[in-house]
Amino acid sequence: MYIAKLHPFAFKIGPIGVHWYGIFMVLAILGGSYYLIERGKQLGEDPDYLSNVTLWTVLWGVIGARLVFVLANEPQWIWTDPVQILRIWDGGLAYDGAVGLGVFALWYQLRKKPLVFNYLVDWTVPGIGLGIFMVRIGNIFNHEVLGRMTELGFGRWPEQLWGSFIGVFLILRYFWLERYRTPPPGYQFWSAMFYYAILRGFIGETTRDNPLYLIHYINPYWGIGFTTLMQLFTPPILIFTGLMMRRTWRKSATRLIPPGKTVVSMSSEASGQK
C-alpha cells in the first residue's frame, strides 16, 4: 500500500518529530509486556523479577531486529553512516532478528528455570502478534514494505495489510488454543513461528517488492517474484520450528501447571487408553 497523503510524523515538538511507526511500536511493546508479566505471575514469580526479565528481553529483541535489518538491507551504514543504525523510529526492523535475539535473552535469563521459560516464551506470542500488526500499520505511514506492482487492476499489492493480517492470525490462533486445547508449554511459541514462516515465506514474500537471490523470477502481471532472502530461509526455519513443536509434545509428561489450568500429559493420555 502506498498512500501519499499519509505523513510519517504524528506530531512535532520543536525540531523533533514523533513518528507513527515509533508510537505503534511502543504501544505493541507495552501491550505484549503487560500480558507477559500478568501471566507470569501465575508461576509464583516475583513481579519485579518478571519486569526485569521482560525489559531485557524487549531490549535485546529491538537490538536484534535492527541488527538483522541493517545486515540484510543496508550493511553500508556500518561504515558510511553508523548514526543511521540508531534511528529505529524511521523504520527498519527485522522480525526474525527481534524474535531470535529476544528469545535467546529470555532463555539466558531463565536458563536455570526451563519450565518457567517454556511458559513465558508461549506468553510472548500475543505480544509478537500485536507487534507484527501495529508495526506493519506504521510501515504504511512510512511508505515502506511495499508490495509489487501488478496488472490486475488494483496497482500494488497491499503488503503491509497482509503482514497485519498475519499478526492478527497469530493472536486469534493463540487464544483459540488457550480456550479449546491444552498444549504443552513451549508449543504455542514454536507453532506460532511455524505458521508465521509459512504465511510470510510462501505468500507475503511472494508479493513483496524485495530483492531476489539465486532464482530471479518476476511475473509482472500477477506481481509475484522468487526468491527473496526470507524465502531462502523459510525451509530451514520450518524444519527447525517443526522439530521444536514435536519436542515439546515429547517432553510434556512432567511440567509445571499454572493455576486454573488442567493439563493432561501425552503419556497419561496414552496409558488411559490402554
Which residues belong to the annotated binding site? Answer: 136
**DSSP, residue by residue, 31-98:** HHHHHHHHHHGGGT--HHHHHHHHHHHHHHHHHHHHHHHHHHH-TTHHHH-HHHHT-GGGS---HHHH
Residue pair 93/135 in contact (Cβ under 8 Å)? The answer is yes
For CA atoms 234, 240, 244, 247, the dihedral sign is: positive
Beta bridge partners of 9: 19
Hey, what amino acid is at 60?
W
- Residue 87: CB atoms within 10 Å: 13
